[in-house]
Structure formats: C-alpha cells, structure tokens
Structure 1
Amino acid sequence: MTQASAAPKADRRRHDREIIALAVPAFGALVAEPLFVLADSAIVGHLGTAQLAGLGVASALLTTAVSIFVFLAYATTAAVARRVGAGDLQAAIRQGMDGIWLALLLGAAVIAVVLPTAPALVDLFGASDTAAPYAVTYLRISSLGIPAMLVVLAATGVLRGLQDTKTPLYVAIGGFVANGALNLGLVYGADLGIAGSAWGTVIAQCAMAAVYLVVVVRGARRHGASLRPDAAGIRACAQAGAPLLVRTLSLRAILMIATAVAARLGDADVAAHQIILSLWSLMAFALDAIAIAGQAIIGRYLGADDPAGARAVCRRMVQWGIAAGTVLGLLIVLARPLFIPLFTGDAAVQDAALPALVVVALAQPICGIVFVLDGVLMGAGDGPYLAWAMLITLAVFTPVALLVPTFGGGLTAVWAAMTLMMAVRMVTLWSRSRSGRWLVTGATR
C-alpha cells in the first residue's frame, strides 16, 4: 500500500472515530428526552383517563413551546465549536454563557405568557371538559420549569461545541431516573395527583439545569471567562438563532399539515399516521445523532481555518447518513408486520399503515442525507440559507399534501408527499454543500 492510498484511509478512520465518539452518546441523550413524557404518562395513567388526557394536552403544548427554542442548542453548538477550533476556549465558554443567559430570558417570557393564558391554550387544543382542569394544572406548574428546560438546551449546545456529548448523556439519564422517582413519590406517596407529576418534572429539570451550570461555570473559571450577562453577546445569540427558529417553525408547520390531512382521510388513517409518525420520529433520533456530531466537528474545522478538513468530514458523514438510512429502511420493512400490531389490533388501521410504511422505509436513505447535511450547515453557521431552504420546502409540500384528499391515495399518498418534502430538502442542502459557500472559516462567522 502506497502512502498516498494509506493517507485517505487513515483520515476516514479518524473521522469515523470522531463521529462515533460524538454520535453514540448524543443518540442516548436524544432517546432519554422523550422518556420523560413516557414515564409521566405511565404514572399519571393510573390516576384515570381524564388525568391522562389532560397530561397529553399539556405535554403537547410544553413540547411545542420547548421545541421552538431548539435553536438554543444548535446555534450555540456551532458558535462554541468555531472558537474551540480557533483555540480560544475562553471565548468559546463566553459564547456559551451568552446562550444560557438568552435561554433564561426566553424562559421567563414564556412563563409570563403561559401562566395567565393556560386555560385558553388548553381549550385551543380541544381538551374535553373533564380533562381541561387537569391539563391547566399540569401546564401551569410545568411551565415554571421551562427556563430550566431552555438552559438545558443551551448548556447542551455548549458542551457539544466543546466536543463533549457524554456529559449530556449522563445528565439525561440522571434526570430521567430522578423524574421517575419524584413522580412516583409526589403523585402517590404525597397524594398530589397530576400536580405531583408536574412538580416532579419541574424539580428534575431544575436539577439537570443546575448540573449543567456547575459544569459550565467550572469551565468558565478555569479559562477566565466572565459569567456576567453581556447585552451584545446575548443579542448576537438571538440574531444567530432567528433563522434556525424560522427553519424549526417551518418544519413544525409541515408536520401539522401532514397530520391535518391524515385526519381528513378518516379515523383509521389518522390513527395509522400517528403510529407511523412515532416511528419516523424514533428513526430521526438515530439520524439526528450523526447531525449533532456534524455540528460540533464542522464548526471546529472551520474555526481552525481548515476548509479541506471540513469538506472531507462532510463527505464521510454523508456516507454515514446513507448507510444509517439504508439500515433503518431495511429494519422498517422487516419489522413492519410485527411493529404495527404492538399499537393496534384494528385491521383498518393496519391496512392503512402497512403500505405507507414501505414509503417511509424507502425514504430513509434520503432522510440520512438530509439530517447529515442539515447538521453540517448548522455547524457552519449557515442559518439564513437553512431558513430559506425550509421555507421553499414548505411552499412545495403544502399544495401537494392538501391535494391528497382530492386525488386519493390515502395515507400512502400523505407519506409520499412527506418523502417529496425530504427530497426537496435534500436537493437544496446538497446544492449548498456542493457550492462551498458554507465554508466560511474563522472563530466567528
């Protein structure tokens, strides 16, 4: 083997080690997050149907509120990673502190909105008269933990930017265990009912935020970074996150439109759609873990003024995305006869879901490319392009999806439209990655 041929192989192995080291813990942390809601549902479910229904409505509202601000993690990861690549750890942690201060301000604003409007929000989501009081109780108490939830997002972004995805995994596991224990103790031991579940979640989230703050503050003191809020830095974080907020809202709109169209097709179709959407979200966790690695690694390479290295690791991550998507697609095809009966015995729901799952399986390699390139461009700080690309995708998807009830095809056609949506995203992201315009080097973009 010549030195010329050995060098690329060595680079690929090095990239693979970096990707695995960041992606595997990130996947564990991502999976741990929805387990909070799952544990709450299992505990509250034994209180009664009305309580569980109330929890479902409140959780949907809380999840939506928090997911809108996921840019706190994404933008912070990219900004911190750039400064790590530039060798300026003090500035990296200072950047992270600006993101955490922004999270606290946004959290306080959300509380100010949610507390007085909780009954109206619950009513907007269609809660029944029996479930609404429980939903309002859970929403009002849990909203007190939103600042902590947003701090967790921002601090997770700081650690990812510092190339550390293990600490978020440990914190997520600890938070899940604490949440379960607190919920059991407060719901049944203290006989607080659904309010106990809400308080347990708030306490667990605050404890997680406290752990993150201890880790970040220690790093700040070690490298001489200021902990004080900096108005200019906070404003810069908000400006960097604004395009990612547009991207996230556009994606949420696409998912809501797909669900609304499925609902118009009938009860069996919307039930099958919910099952498939749950599986699709689970697959997304696996692919998003690679994207998170992309955010951290790409930001570091560009911060170190190494565009060639950034291109090389981008190519390798795309290969990882295609491979992961192909494996996930095969698993869906093989497991679909076993997977659907776990959720329903209704033959009509199964008949609607099975062909749609084939479409979802075929789309997974496309999803793999999309998630990876999305992470790469986030790591490069290319938020404005991501916002415009998602708006274009929304504009293409919306009329196609809305025409499904007119032209027929049922739920399979809905998921064909979702596949078209991912294909449009792939084209926009692929063209950007090929252009090289995202390869902006330096400690700041």
Structure 2
Amino acid sequence: MNSTQDDPVPGTERVPPRTVFGLAVPALGVLAAEPLYVLVDTAVVGHLGALPLAGLAVGGVILSQISTQLTFLSYGTTSRTARLHGAGRRAEAVSEGVQATWLAVIVGLILVVAGQLLAGPIAGVLSGSGEVTGAAVSWLRIALLGTPLILITMAGNGWMRGVQDTARPLRYVLAGNGISAVLCPLLVYPAGLGLEGSAVANLIGQVFSAGLFVRALLTEKVPMRPRREVMWAQLGLGRDLVLRSLAFQACFVSAAAVAARTSTEAVGAHQIVLQLWVFLSLVLDSVAIAAQALVGAALGSGSSRRARGVAGQITRYGLILGVVLCGLFAAVSQVLPRAFTTDPGVLAEVPHAWWFFVALQPIAGVVFAIDGVLLGAGDAAFLRNATLLSAALGFLPLVWASLGFGWGLAGIWTGLSLFMVFRLIAVVLRWRSGRWAVVGAVRA
C-alpha cells in the first residue's frame, strides 16, 4: 500500500478507494434490504389506517430488540473473523462463523419461547392502549417465530464480512427480502390477512435467507460441531456489545412508549420517521462495514499504520455521505411522508420529528463510521461505556421529561440529538488517540 500526505495521522497507510467501496457497496445492499422491506411493510400497513400502523410500530420495536440486542453475532463475529483472516488463518476464521451460527440457533429458540409468553404484557406496557396492544400482539406472535432465522442471517453476515466477502450475503438477503416484499401486499390485501399478513410474509423470506447462509457454511468443509470454548470467547466480546445495545434499546423503547402515550397519530408519525432513521443509519454504516473488515485484517496482519489510515478514510467518507443525505431528505420533506400514510393526523405530527432527523445526518455519518473502525478493532468496551453514558446523560432524561411536560415528538427527537452529540465527542476523541489500534490475530 502507498502512504499519502493527506492522511490524518502521520505515518499511516491508506487503501485504494475501490477496495473500501468494493466491500461497502454490497454491504450497503445487505444493510439496506431489511429496513427497506420494513419501509415497504410500513407503507402497506399504513394504508390500513392509524390503528394497524400503531400496532406495527409497537410490535416492530419489540422484534427489533432481538437483532439490535444481539449485534455481536454479526459485528463481533466480523471483528474476530477479520483478524484471523488477516493473519492468513481462513479455516479458523470460517469456524468463527460456525460457532456464531450455533449460538444463533440456541439463543433464537430461547427467545421464541420467551417471546410467545411475554408478547402481551410487553406490548401492553409500551402501547398504553388496549386496541394498539391487541394489534401489536397479533402481528408479533407470528413474527417472533422467525427469531432463530434472523440470528442465523446475522451470524452469516458476520463471518462473510470478516473474510471480505460481501457479495454473497447481498444475494442471500435480497432473495429473502425480495420474496417478503412481493408477498406482503398480496397477503395483507387480496388474501385478506390484514396486519398479520405482513408478519407471515416476513417469516417466509427469513426462511430463504437463513437457509442460504447455512448452505454457504456447509460448502466451506470446516468442522460443524459446536465448540464451547469458541462460543464462550464470542460471548465475552458479545457481553460488551450487548450492554451497548441495551442502551440503544432503552432509548428507542422509551421513545416508542412516550410517543404511544402522546397519541395514536404521534406514534404512527414516530414509526415513519424512526424507520427512515434506521434505514439511513444502515446506509451510513455501509462504509463502516468495510472498515470493520479492513481494520480487523490490518491489525491481524500486524499493520497498525494501515488500520489508522483506513480509519481516517472511513471517517471522511461517512461525513460526506451524511451531508448528502441531509440535503436529499430536506428536499423531499413535503413528499416522502405521504408515501407511508394518507392519515391527516399522522402527517401533521411528522414535521415535529422530521427536521431533527434531517439535521442529524452529518453527525450520524461520522459517528457510525468511527463506530465501524472501533468495532473492527474489537474496542467494544470503550463503545459500551460511551454509549451507556450518552444514553444516561442525553436521550433518556429528555425522552421521559417529554412525557411529563407534554413536549411530544419534538422532545423525543431533541433527546436523540443530544445522544448523538455526546457519542460524536466520545468516538472522535478515541479515534484520534490511536489507543484502539492493537495488533495481533486475537485482540488481547
């Protein structure tokens, strides 16, 4: 690799932009596929009326806790796999995927049972309305059956990213989500299943995606038996990522609960803007996926200079992409919300969250990019602490104050803004310090 004079840290190496985007573009497809399907789902259900949309909002928040809470199956697996791949130990790298898949099956089955038992009480706590609770539970009981399949797909994405293969995951995820997107309007309307039809469509697509990832592991010809010591090591890294995810979940579950108690129209509007936020977060995270693979491989091969160079590149790319998205979604503010609902009450609430969502995109671009760098380096403990503190000092106080003082969606999204600013300060300082760049096939 050639060093360049414009690197942010002297003595670093950059990688060619085509290397970054060769990984990032397929990763973007994978990251965007699920939230894009959810946007389609939201648009289909939104035309049923405010109540089904509110039920989807509450049920979707609960289901999303599974994938968000267990991100170590993808991000943690990428970090461990990338270091082994960088050290030239491919078989061991793929074996990380095998063990992550076993964890996905075990944890997924436990969550299916727990979810069926607790769906009603949890939805009731979040919704604050008997009608919304009933709609949410009817959707959720079907959707929860796909939990092991969701987690298998996450593990598959994790090990494939680690060995710098982002093309096959794109095909696998698009196949499953494409099937779901076609079936969703058919099952909701002509088949007459209503809200439950969207959950059935989602489940069928997950069967296809998970099956393709399992087949990919089988073709690698590595031992498929469970290895307790590897799974325990993955869980060790997972502990920090789970605690970090708990902070996210506390924030977004609180936001959904406060929005639901504001009005049915407010929770519907929050669902629309939140799903766009999730979608764009994953778009911004696509270059960070490349950072995870490239930073992990560089550190595994012993090159901290290359790891620091990639970190600088990814941060710049994230900022540029965030600015572009900010301008784009400002331009479509009067048009895009109408694609999701025609309910006048919901549309009247959307602007109270929309402009926070737009203004946060450049900040999010930098935060998610550096998150990717630190995740690739296995710096999970720092990310855990930074996220927990940002949630405790920023998001949560303002969200619950919004309930008490009646600030509505504006108060909720002010809390999200403060949360992102605190995270920005923390990750930028960590990136500039260079203390994350620990070399070796396994991070000590």
Whether the 8 Å contact between 1:352 and 1:412 is mirrored in structure 2 is no
Structure 1 gap ranges (5+)? none
Deviation, 1:335, is 2.9
Deviation, 1:274, is 4.4
Whether the 8 Å contact between 1:12 and 1:316 is mirrored in structure 2 is no
After superposition, residues 373-412 of structure 1 pair within 5 angstroms as 373-397=370-394, 398-403=396-401, 411-412=409-410
Deviation, 1:180, is 4.1
Q: 1:437 aligns with which of 432, 435, 438?
A: 435
Amino acid at match of 1:320: Y
SS in 2 for 1:87: coil
Give 1 or 2 for the bigger CA radius of gyration.
Answer: 1
| Partner residue in 1 for 2:21 | 20
Count of paired positions: 438
Answer with 182-191 or 323-332: which moved more.
182-191
1:116 to 1:421, Cα distance in 2 relative to 1, 3 A: closer
Amino acid at match of 2:33: A
Deviation, 1:242, is 1.1
Superposition RMSD in Å: 3.6
- Find the aligned partners of 1:407 and 1:194 in 2 and give their Cα distance: 33
Give the TM-score taking structure 1 as reference length.
Answer: 0.84
Amino acid at match of 2:155: A
After superposition, residues 249-260 of structure 1 pair within 5 angstroms as 249-259=246-256
Matched, 1:164 2:165: yes
Percent of aligned positions that are identical: 37
Matched, 1:33 2:29: no
| Partner residue in 2 for 1:333 | 330
Whether the 8 Å contact between 2:398 and 2:411 is mirrored in structure 1 is no
After superposition, residues 6-85 of structure 1 pair within 5 angstroms as 14-38=15-39, 40=41, 56-85=57-86
Whether the 8 Å contact between 1:359 and 1:415 is mirrored in structure 2 is yes
Deviation, 1:357, is 4.3
Deviation, 1:317, is 0.7
Matched, 1:151 2:148: no
Answer with 413-422 or 344-353: which moved more.
344-353
Whether the 8 Å contact between 1:288 and 1:371 is mirrored in structure 2 is yes
1:258 to 1:129, Cα distance in 2 relative to 1, 3 A: closer
1:298 to 1:272, Cα distance in 2 relative to 1, 3 A: same
Deviation, 1:226, is 1.5
Amino acid at match of 2:207: C
Q: What do residues 367-413 of structure 1 show as CA deviations (whole Å, max 9, x unaligned)?
A: 11100111110111111111111111112103355556788987555
After superposition, residues 40-439 of structure 1 pair within 5 angstroms as 40=41, 56-126=57-127, 135-181=136-182, 198-219=199-220, 221=221, 225-259=222-256, 273-340=270-337, 354=351, 357-397=354-394, 398-403=396-401, 411-412=409-410, 414-439=412-437
- Find the aligned partners of 2:88 and 2:291 in 1 and give their Cα distance: 19
Amino acid at match of 1:31: A
- Find the aligned partners of 1:118 and 1:193 in 2 and give their Cα distance: 19
1:131 to 1:423, Cα distance in 2 relative to 1, 3 A: closer
1:131 to 1:412, Cα distance in 2 relative to 1, 3 A: closer
- Find the aligned partners of 2:106 and 2:172 in 1 and give their Cα distance: 23
Whether the 8 Å contact between 2:152 and 2:210 is mirrored in structure 1 is yes
SS in 2 for 1:226: coil
Amino acid at match of 2:206: Q
Whether the 8 Å contact between 1:57 and 1:127 is mirrored in structure 2 is no
Answer with 158-167 or 130-139: which moved more.
130-139
Amino acid at match of 1:69: L
Answer with 27-36 or 134-143: which moved more.
134-143
Whether the 8 Å contact between 1:80 and 1:162 is mirrored in structure 2 is yes
Whether the 8 Å contact between 2:142 and 2:200 is mirrored in structure 1 is yes
1:330 to 1:198, Cα distance in 2 relative to 1, 3 A: closer
Q: What do residues 314-334 of structure 1 show as CA deviations (whole Å, max 9, x unaligned)?
A: 001111011111112222333
- Find the aligned partners of 2:250 and 2:370 in 1 and give their Cα distance: 21
Whether the 8 Å contact between 1:102 and 1:238 is mirrored in structure 2 is no
1:414 to 1:191, Cα distance in 2 relative to 1, 3 A: closer
SS in 2 for 1:144: helix
- Find the aligned partners of 1:48 and 1:337 in 2 and give their Cα distance: 20
Whether the 8 Å contact between 2:3 and 2:14 is mirrored in structure 1 is no
- Find the aligned partners of 1:328 and 1:152 in 2 and give their Cα distance: 28
Deviation, 1:157, is 0.6
Amino acid at match of 2:416: M
- Find the aligned partners of 2:285 and 2:321 in 1 and give their Cα distance: 11
